[in-house]
Amino acid sequence: MRSGADLIVVSLHWGGNWGYEIRDEERSFAHRLIDEAGADIVWGHSSHHVKGIEVYRGKLILFGCGDLLTDYEGIGGHESFHPELGLLYFPEIIAKSGQIARLQMVPTRLRGFRIHRASHSEARWLAQTLTREGRHMGTHARLMPDNRIELVWT
């Protein structure tokens, strides 16, 4: 797929809903998509809430992006995951290598089937969640004064 492509993004509907666990099989598959299939970004979705982020060999893996806009609004039972909170992802990719240079995220809140900017406390919760869930993969989130969130990795 690399022939003529500037960037390869693999978007996957995967993983379990309503939980932060990223199974070893999911991580292994994401790594193989980068190592064997040449993916530059693995963009996972389906979890209905944000999950941890990994930078593997300089490539971005989003294991669960949450829902930006959904018709699940108002369905109860999963409030602790804050499914009403989401992120707009703005990765900056180095064109020659496909490696991630920077990832900025804008926190959002879904209310009345409309997307709004998240409050400072909601943005802080998202940054803390990304840090907690990404720690074992070498990533954490930095909340900026303007409520943007930046990913930091080792």
Average pLDDT of the segment spanning 93-102: 93
* Domain count for the chain: 1
Q: Is residue 27 part of a domain?
A: yes
Predicted confidence (pLDDT) at residue 76 exceeds the cutoff of 80: no
- The Cα–Cα gap between 115 and 63 comes to 22
pLDDT at position 71, please? 66
Average pLDDT of the segment spanning 123-132: 98
pLDDT at position 1, please? 60
pLDDT at position 80, please? 81
Predicted confidence (pLDDT) at residue 105 exceeds the cutoff of 70: yes
Q: Where residue 82 falls among pLDDT bands split at 50, 70, 90?
A: confident
Predicted confidence (pLDDT) at residue 42 exceeds the cutoff of 80: yes
pLDDT at position 35, please? 96
Q: Is residue 72 part of a domain?
A: no
Q: Is residue 3 part of a domain?
A: no
Query: Rounded mean pLDDT of the chain?
Result: 91
Q: Is residue 138 part of a domain?
A: yes
* Token couple for 149: 């969130």
pLDDT at position 132, please? 97
Structural domain of residue 28, as residue ranges?
A: 9-67+80-153
Predicted confidence (pLDDT) at residue 16 exceeds the cutoff of 90: no
pLDDT at position 73, please? 66
State residue 110 phi and psi, 5-degree precision: -95, 125
Task: Find the range with the poorest average confidence among 32-36, 47-51, 132-136.
Answer: 47-51
- The Cα–Cα gap between 122 and 49 comes to 13
Provide the strand spans (E) within 85-146: 85-93, 100-111, 114-117, 139-143
Q: Is residue 45 part of a domain?
A: yes
Cβ-contact 56, 90 below 8 angstroms:
no
pLDDT at position 25, please? 94
Cβ-contact 47, 24 below 8 angstroms:
no
Element (H, E) at 55: strand 53-56
Evaluate if pTM is beyond 0.85.
yes
Tell me, what DSSP letter sits at residue 1?
-
pLDDT at position 32, please? 97
